[in-house]
Amino acid sequence: MEAIEELAVQPCTSSLYLRPFRLSYRQNGTKKFWDFMRTHDSVSILIFNTSRQCFVVVKQFRPAVYMCEVERHHPQVFQNQDKESSFSLENPLPAVVGVTYELCAGIVDKPGLSLEEIACEEILEECGYRVSTADLRRITSYRSGVGVMGSRQTLFYAEVNDQMKTSGGGGQPEEGELIEVVEIPLEESMKFAYDETFPKTMGVIFSFTWFHNNIAPKLPKK
């Protein structure tokens, strides 16, 4: 995950995942426009291992996060860059600045599968636990990236145990995935959620808080 080399930023003329558009409209008599991106909806899953009383999350390198850090440290990198030009990065920042902690998640790109079935596939591929759709509890859905994308993410909750683990997870290398499975002990979870030294998604913070409000009070007392 740390071996990042030969970084180059190039124009993106087509993508399987992103489609840029400009919307023109009139609102309350005022002519406006807004640039936006169409992308897939997604699912995410809060996984709690009851055998060891811990949350199971994933850790991976995110190029978009990495490039935000590159621009923060070297704002000149993106100056005077247009979509027709490309450039290479000499002496790139260490890969760790682009690594984030996240819930197990995946895009909704299989029309024949339900959201629950996609979630079960992601749990197995990324974290190595085999669960059924009956093991899932739907928490809620919400919009993400509302200023640019507006896609819907549906959040599920799944309880697993050590007997349900069939592999080490880690994603699908043939698709370029490089995922590290991380366990967060229950007693340390809220401290972790608000510790800014561990870069994470809002989904982690929200779901940990949901768990402590809805599930933790029902757990057997030690």
Q: Which residues pair with 137 in a beta bridge?
A: 157
Residues of the chain with pLDDT under 70: 1-2, 80-87, 173-177, 222
Query: In one letter, which amino acid is 33?
Result: F
Which bin fits 66, alpha (ψ -120 to 50), beta or left (φ > 0)? alpha
Question: Residue 152 is encoded by which pair of tokens?
Answer: 């819907």
What is the DSSP code (8-state) at residue 105? Answer: E
Calpha distance 174→168 (Å, rounded): 16
All structural domains of the chain, each given as residue ranges with its CATH number in brackets, are: 38-75+92-215 (3.90.79.10)
Q: Which residues pair with 129 in a beta bridge?
A: 165
CB 158 within 8 A of CB 56: no
The beta-strand segments (E) located in the chain are 8-9, 19-27, 30-38, 42-49, 54-61, 87-88, 99-102, 104-107, 136-144, 151-160, 179-185
SS3 16: coil
pLDDT attached to residue 2:
66
pLDDT attached to residue 70:
87
CB 200 within 8 A of CB 102: yes
* Locus of tokens 């509302």: 146
Geometric angle at alpha carbon 125, from 119 and 129, rounded to 5°: 80
pLDDT attached to residue 84:
59
pLDDT attached to residue 11:
82
